[in-house]
Structure 1
Amino acid sequence: MPRLTPLTPETAVGASRDLLADLVSRHGQIGGMVSTMAHSPAVLGGYLQLSRAMGRAKLDRRISERISVAVQAQQGCGLCLEAHIAAARALGVDEDEIERARAGTSADPAIAAIVALALQVHREPTSITDEQITALRAHGYSDRAIADVVGVVALNVLTGAFNLLAGLTPGGDAGA
């Protein structure tokens, strides 16, 4: 059961009301996570800005979704994990690779390396080495793509932690 009540443009106040009204006018509806984030205009605004910015990331979406699956498997947000698995499937990632992403790896050494980096960014960024970055470049990743990993991880930490705090779970009206 959700711990926080979703808001609407009618029940939200101030900046949150404006953000929700804008989202409803552009998209017709909003999901439970976004409407619940409206309790904090800072969190909602930050989420929307980071989400938009990461839409311009250099990483291939099939890779960023595997990173998201790996991070959410670690973080424990079932709602986010379910959403990212569905997105990975929609992008053509096969079931074996989805399971590998849940375990934090891939059959492709280049993808395994960038997923491993993402998990280190999530758990222990001080353990990242110069050799890892050199190896990622040898796999063909640009500095921009490597830097984008931090944004993908940050977005997943934000959404997953928020959903866990708010008590949003799969099966409810909690989609983004």
Structure 2
Amino acid sequence: MPRLARLTPDTAVGTSRDLLAELTSRHGRTGDMVATMAHSPAVLSGYLQLSRAMGRAKLDRRISERVSIAVQTLQGCALCLDAHVDAARARGVDEEEIDRAREGTSADPAIAAIITLALQVYRQPTSITDEQIAALREFGHSDRAIADVVGIVALNVLTGAFNLVAGLTPGSDSGA
């Protein structure tokens, strides 16, 4: 059961009202997470900006979805995990790779290395070494792709933590 109320353009105030009205006019509706984030204009605006920015990430979406699956498996946000699994499937990631992502790995060593980096960013960024970054480059990952992983993890931490605090679960969301 949600812990925080869902807001609408009619019930939100100030910047949140304006953001929700804009999103509703563009998309027809807002999902529970976005509508609930509207309690904090700073959180809602920050989420929207980071989400848009990460939409321009260099990292292939089939890889970034696996990164998100790995992070959300650890974080425990079922709503986010379901969304990222669905997105991975839509991009052609097979079930074995989705299962591997849940385990924090991949059959492809280059993807496994980027997932490992993401999980270290999530758990303990101080453990990342120069050698690890060099190995990522040897796999063909650019500095931009490596940096994008940090953004992907940050976006997942924000959305997952928010959903967990707000009590949003699968079935309660009516779209993002």
**TM value normalised by structure 1:** 0.99
DSSP-derived class of the 1:69 partner: helix
- 1:169 is matched by which residue type in structure 2? T
Q: Percent identity?
A: 80
- Counterparts of 1:173 and 1:46 in 2: how far apart (Å)? 20
Q: Is the 8 A contact 1:168 1:174 kept in 2?
A: no
Alignment correspondent of 2:114 = 114
Q: List, as ranges, runs of 4+ consecutive aligned residues in structure 1 with deviation greater than 6 Å.
A: none
Deviation at 1:173, TM superposition (A): 2.5
**RMSD of Structure 2 on Structure 1 (CA):** 0.6
Q: Is the 8 A contact 1:33 1:174 kept in 2?
A: no
Alignment correspondent of 1:20 = 20
Residue-by-residue CA offset, 1:44-81 (whole Å, 9 max, x unaligned): 00000000000000000000000000000000000000
Residue-by-residue CA offset, 1:127-170 (whole Å, 9 max, x unaligned): 00001100000000000000000000000000000000000000
- Counterparts of 1:174 and 1:78 in 2: how far apart (Å)? 15
**TM value normalised by structure 2:** 0.99
Alignment correspondent of 2:54 = 54
Q: Is the 8 A contact 1:24 1:30 kept in 2?
A: yes
Q: Is the 8 A contact 2:20 2:38 kept in 1?
A: yes
- Counterparts of 2:9 and 2:175 in 1: how far apart (Å)? 17
2:103 is the counterpart of 1:96: no
Alignment correspondent of 1:8 = 8
Q: Is the 8 A contact 1:65 1:88 kept in 2?
A: yes
Alignment correspondent of 1:42 = 42
> How many equivalent pairs are there?
176
- Counterparts of 1:163 and 1:24 in 2: how far apart (Å)? 20
Residue-by-residue CA offset, 1:24-51 (whole Å, 9 max, x unaligned): 1111111000000000000000000000
Q: Which runs of 5+ in 1 are unaligned?
A: none
Deviation at 1:172, TM superposition (A): 1.2
